[in-house]
Amino acid sequence: MKIVSKLLAVTSIAAIAVLAAPTSRADTITVVAGTTHESLWTDTGIDLTGQTINITASGAWSWAFGENVGPDGSLVAFVDDEWIQNGRHGQLIAYVGGDPLLGTAGAPGFTDYIAIGSNGSITGLTGRLWLGFNDDYSSGGEGDNSGSVQATITSVPDSGTSITLFGLALFAMAAARRKLALA
């Protein structure tokens, strides 16, 4: 009877370990095309710890009167006024760190900002996640911005952790069965 009790305990612990494995989590944030330099950025309240996150977005905003665009922005030649100078004016962008206003703007690969658009991901970064509007980096012309997009941020579970926990659970169950067979 003692062995059966131990087998049940080990099996229960293994099941809990598998159930406790990381799962994905989704948060939806409204990102506004700010009308001041500071309000171009939205603090998501999410602190990244190196995990992978996926961001999908939809909605419409405007970087100029009547120029409605989605989260992918529009192709225009105002790159000097973009946080990421990629010609995607009004694109949804991200920053990971303490204050997005202190990041370095520039061409893709030479900037602290991350292009997201309607679908993007971030991997391996640590810090506060900010979402912003790729406009008005240097002009101060925020007064003509309007609209917002909805961004859904999904944390992708670390498959390595899940596989490890599942393997440990299987090992524990096999050891308990072997012990039971020997008794």
CATH code for residues 24-156: 2.60.120.430
Sequential pLDDT tens for the chain (183 residues): 565 455 455 555 555 554 555 556 789 999 999 888 889 999 999 999 999 999 999 999 998 877 899 999 999 877 888 999 999 999 999 999 999 999 999 888 889 999 999 999 999 999 999 999 999 998 888 999 999 999 999 998 766 555 565 666 666 666 666 666 666
| Residue (of 121, 149, 120, 150) closest to 135 by Cα position | 149
Q: Is the four-CA dihedral 119, 120, 121, 122 of positive or negative sign?
A: negative
Contact 5, 12 (CB under 8 A): no
CA 85 – CA 111 distance, rounded (Å): 9
State residue 171's pLDDT score.
Answer: 65
For residue 133, what pLDDT is reported?
93
- For residue 49, the model assigns a pLDDT of 94
Rounded Cα distance between 86 and 88, Å, is 5
Which pLDDT does position 167 carry in this prediction? 63
Q: Mapping DSSP to helix (H, G, I), strand (E, B) and coil, where does residue 180 land?
A: helix
Structure-token pair, residue 122: 């971030």
DSSP character string of 36-59: SSGGGEEEEEEEEES-EEEEEEEE
User: Where in the chain are the domains?
Assistant: 1-22+158-183, 24-156
What is the pTM for the complete model shown? 0.75
